[in-house]
Amino acid sequence: MSNLSNKVQLIGHLGADPEIVNLTDGKKIAKFSIATTDRYKNKQGELVSDTQWHNVVAWNKTAEIIEKYVTKGKQVGVDGKLTSRSYEDKEGNKKYITEVVCNELLLLGSKA
């Protein structure tokens, strides 16, 4: 069960084309967001849609696959782990972000 201690699996659609960053040491990073939507009926019997956005980062070979095959609107499956980090913006304010580090990517939907 230790393999389940920090595991995330999501299926969603990209909201924009991935951002690809080539680092000076030859490594590559892909950054993108996917939307997942949960639909349910509330107490009044009305259908409710709840869309959540998830920040995803992928490294090296996975980033290369994303760069080549993944675009805005594409449906993907992501398997990875949650990480949190902080950084300072241009004004010096400390910002916090939680993102999924993608270990495996599954290309879904049509091939168009």
- Give me the phi and psi of 69, to 5 degrees please: -120, -15
What pTM does this model have? Answer: 0.83
Q: What is the pLDDT along the chain (112 residues), one digit of tens a residue?
A: 556 689 999 999 999 999 999 999 989 999 999 999 999 999 999 999 999 999 999 999 999 999 999 999 999 999 999 999 999 999 999 999 999 999 999 999 765 4
